[in-house]
Chains A and B, each alone.
Chain A
Amino acid sequence: MQLSGAEITLRCLAEEGVEYLFGYPGGAVLYIYDEIFKQDKVKHILVRHEQAAIHAADGYARSCGRPGVAIVTSGPGVTNAVTGIATAYLDSIPMVIISGQVPTRAIGLDAFQEVDTVGITRPCVKHNFLVKDVNELATTIKKAFYVATSGRPGPVLVDIPKDVSQHLAEYSYPSSVTMRSYNPVIKGHAGQIKKAVQMLLEAKRPMIYAGGGVILGDSSHLLTQIVRELGYPCTNTLMGLGAYPATDKLFVGMLGMHGTYEANLAMQNCDVLLAIGARFDDRVIGNPEHFFQSGRRIIHVDIDPSSISKRVKVDVPIVGNIADVAEEMLKQLHASDAKPDAQALAAWWKQIEEWRSRDCLRFDRSNTEIIKPQAVVEKLYEVTNGDAYITSDVGQHQMWAAQYYKFDKPRRWINSGGLGTMGFGLPSAMGVQFAFPNDMVACVTGEASIQMCIQELSTCKQYHLPIKIVNLNNRYLGMVRQWQELQHGNRYSESYMEALPDFVKLAESYGHVGMKIEKPSDVEGALREAFALKDRTVFLDFQTDQTENVFPMVPGGKGLSEMILGSEDL
């Protein structure tokens, strides 16, 4: 049977099991929207800005693991989407974006709403396609899903000219595709894994450093098993939070720029480091020259060879899918006669506990005058029993959420780590709430970040999304102000947020519940009240301490052991 390109597109999405299509219509995608209207398998979610469509699809993908799917029109639709696409790209999130394009005969003629979409998005997608012939549409969409979800995941864009969506073609959806130029490595090299296991068992001061790859590869249970069987300390990156249960005693907290004292010092002083699904980011190891220790041996497991030995030279590279590599590691651990050196390990733990006893995340919990932002996150953790999905924006509030909400499960912590995109929090929370309509979803944000996608309050209303927005309102671009304090002589250049709206009234005008919380004693009650409103979006505007900074902190260009622990260190 002959179908139009638009109908083929919808059929393909249905074949892929796509539940939600986040998008915004326009001229170049009108045929596709017409087909959206005529079917009921794929539910379209109308956002208020294309950036939000991509972030929502992204939040959906991060929380449930299935690829997020979004659709935008040509020209401004695409350029609005670019921030979202780059956000997903830097955090390796599986996503398929359909974009409309001007008709093939108009391409290159500076047509109305024409941009070179493939060119603009090329550096921030895993791959992209321009479909010039309707006969190639179904195969291309199949390839897009395959590439987006296999190997190191990432966003893939399919650009469909308007005439291609109108033209007819015989439709059949391929059950599989093979691409001779794309064959991600899955199984790790057995010999290398053996070497790694031996090295781990010989360690005197071992450390396990796990990142977002463990979550992307659904391998938290395997990581947990490895860590527990060895009894070794484990840290997670910002992207890896939840990969290992945060309340477990073997967990030493997040590492990096705002990581814990114990995690950073253990990272710096270990003699064998197992890096698994983590990419030695500059926010994690600080200055690479300072990080280098001649006695330390490094094992690095990653599905992307280019993540290995990029910033830090490693001794045992293992290219492969974490689930496969971790299973093989466990097998070899069980087969080995060697056991970890109990004495050395006890001494190492003693050292770590000493570092831990510095209690680097302590803050003034007894303050009754002014709300400490950390206290809000701690209460949020209590009130939700640690069982909510937490999204965040970018800034100090993001770091406090990461430090004080203890994630015991993977895919509960949703944030933009690689690109650090302000505006991510609310739309990504929408995606999460669609994936998990009956779960608690909170967006921890700041008064500046929330204004970057505030329009989505309207989407929340339309689809009855009971998201709780936890605004840590410090009237500052707090993270910027903190750097200005530390590195620019307290010159607060343009980091004060003037002319803030009344967020309570703003929320109410969108049809939501707004609350303004000014006293520490009201924090818990407000949170409880908000979560009791199970079918309402609630905007909680916490007036927090304007002067609070995020500690510990490894200042830019410094090494992990050169942390500032608090304002008393300055």
Chain B
Amino acid sequence: MRHILSLLLENEAGALSRVAGLFSARAYNIESLTVAPTEDPTLSRMTIVTSGSDDVIEQITKQLNKLIEVVKVFDLNEGRHIERELMLVKIRSEGKDREEIKRTADIFRGRVIDVTDRIYTIELTGTRDKLDAFLEAIDSAQILETVRTGASGIGRGEWILRV
């Protein structure tokens, strides 16, 4: 099953490579990984999207916790949570297509953030499914470039992850 793991780790050089190295050394799946410092500059927050059987996810969580620089590990699947991913996509938009593409972006609550007479660059946030659905709604021949951040996740309501 797909799991979203949320980590707090020391904001130190090398911490990222320890996490990444763990996934490759133990042959765990990794769909995406995002990381950035938090409001506390000594800590980074990382979101990892992975998949595996319950046993494998249990091992992944334990192995992550074992890394000295990892302060906390949460499996967001254990509670209600929100997941968002940001995508920037460059779409060829000429002639009569321009209106159609703009309309599709509106339906997905995308924003045009850059324009030339041939190209729209659109920014879109949402779940992975929503971003996938948007790409499917556009003729693939028109898509010139996509950049996706991978998911970030946060617990709902009072479920707060901090040290």
Q: B-contacting residues of A (Cβ < 8 Å)?
A: 118-119, 122-123, 126-127, 130, 147, 179-182, 304-306, 309-310, 313
Q: Is B114 an interface residue (CB 8 A)?
A: no
Q: Is B83 an interface residue (CB 8 A)?
A: no
B155 to chain A, nearest CB (A): 20
Interface centre among B9, B65, B66, B70 (most CB of A within 10 A): B66
Q: Is B145 an interface residue (CB 8 A)?
A: no
Question: Contacts A122-B21, A309-B55: A182 and B63 contacting too (C-beta < 8 A)?
Answer: no
Q: Which 8 A-B pairs have the closest CB atoms?
A: A306-B62, A181-B71, A127-B68, A305-B62, A182-B68, A123-B25, A306-B63, A306-B66
CB closest residue in chain A, given B66: A306
Contact present for B68 and A179 (CB under 8 Å): yes
Complexed CA–CA distance, A309 and B62 (Å): 11
17 contacts between A and B (CB under 8 A): A118-B14, A122-B17, A122-B18, A122-B21, A123-B21, A123-B25, A127-B68, A130-B14, A147-B68, A179-B68, A181-B68, A181-B69, A181-B71, A306-B59, A306-B63, A309-B58, A310-B59
Report, as a range, how many residues of chain B touch the other chain: 20 to 34
Contact present for A181 and B10 (CB under 8 Å): yes
A118-B14, A123-B25, A181-B68 given. 16 additional CB < 8 A pairs? A122-B18, A123-B21, A126-B68, A130-B13, A130-B14, A147-B68, A180-B71, A181-B69, A181-B71, A305-B65, A306-B62, A306-B63, A306-B66, A309-B55, A309-B58, A310-B59
Q: Could you say which residues of chain B place their CB within 8 Å of the CB of A179?
A: 68
Q: Could you say which residues of chain B place their CB within 8 Å of the CB of A309?
A: 55, 58
A405 to chain B, nearest CB (A): 34
A418 to chain B, nearest CB (A): 15
B97 to chain A, nearest CB (A): 48
Q: Is B107 an interface residue (CB 8 A)?
A: no
Majority SS at the chain B contact face: helix
CB closest residue in chain A, given B9: A181
Q: Could you say which residues of chain A place their CB within 8 Å of the CB of B13?
A: 130
Complexed CA–CA distance, A119 and B17 (Å): 9
Q: Is B163 an interface residue (CB 8 A)?
A: yes
CB closest residue in chain B, given A124: B25
CB closest residue in chain A, given B21: A122
A229 to chain B, nearest CB (A): 32
Q: Could you say which residues of chain B place their CB within 8 Å of the CB of A304?
A: 66
Q: Could you say which residues of chain A place their CB within 8 Å of the CB of B71?
A: 180-181
Q: Could you say which residues of chain B place their CB within 8 Å of the CB of A119?
A: 17
Complexed CA–CA distance, A182 and B71 (Å): 7
Interface centre among A122, A179, A306 (most CB of B within 10 A): A306
Residues 48-69 of B at the A interface (beta carbon under 8 Å): 55, 58-59, 62-63, 65-66, 68-69
Question: Contacts A130-B14, A306-B59: A180 and B163 contacting too (C-beta < 8 A)?
Answer: yes
Complexed CA–CA distance, A122 and B14 (Å): 10
A117 to chain B, nearest CB (A): 12
B63 to chain A, nearest CB (A): 5
Residues 2-20 of B at the A interface (beta carbon under 8 Å): 9-10, 13-14, 17-18
Complexed CA–CA distance, A119 and B16 (Å): 12
Q: Could you say which residues of chain A place their CB within 8 Å of the CB of B59?
A: 306, 310
Complexed CA–CA distance, A512 and B58 (Å): 54
B126 to chain A, nearest CB (A): 33
Complexed CA–CA distance, A313 and B65 (Å): 20
Q: Could you say which residues of chain A place their CB within 8 Å of the CB of B17?
A: 119, 122
Q: Could you say which residues of chain A place their CB within 8 Å of the CB of B68?
A: 126-127, 147, 179, 181-182
Complexed CA–CA distance, A134 and B21 (Å): 28
Chain A proximity mask over B67-89: 1 for CB below 8 Å, otherwise 0: 01111000000000000000000
CB closest residue in chain A, given B10: A181
A130 to chain B, nearest CB (A): 7
Interface centre among A127, A147, A304 (most CB of B within 10 A): A127
CB closest residue in chain A, given B163: A180
Contact present for B70 and A181 (CB under 8 Å): yes
Complexed CA–CA distance, A212 and B23 (Å): 27
B54 to chain A, nearest CB (A): 10
Complexed CA–CA distance, A126 and B68 (Å): 8
Interface centre among A127, A181, A305, A310 (most CB of B within 10 A): A181
CB closest residue in chain B, given A119: B17
Q: Could you say which residues of chain B place their CB within 8 Å of the CB of A122?
A: 17-18, 21
B69 to chain A, nearest CB (A): 6
Complexed CA–CA distance, A63 and B13 (Å): 36
CB closest residue in chain B, given A123: B25
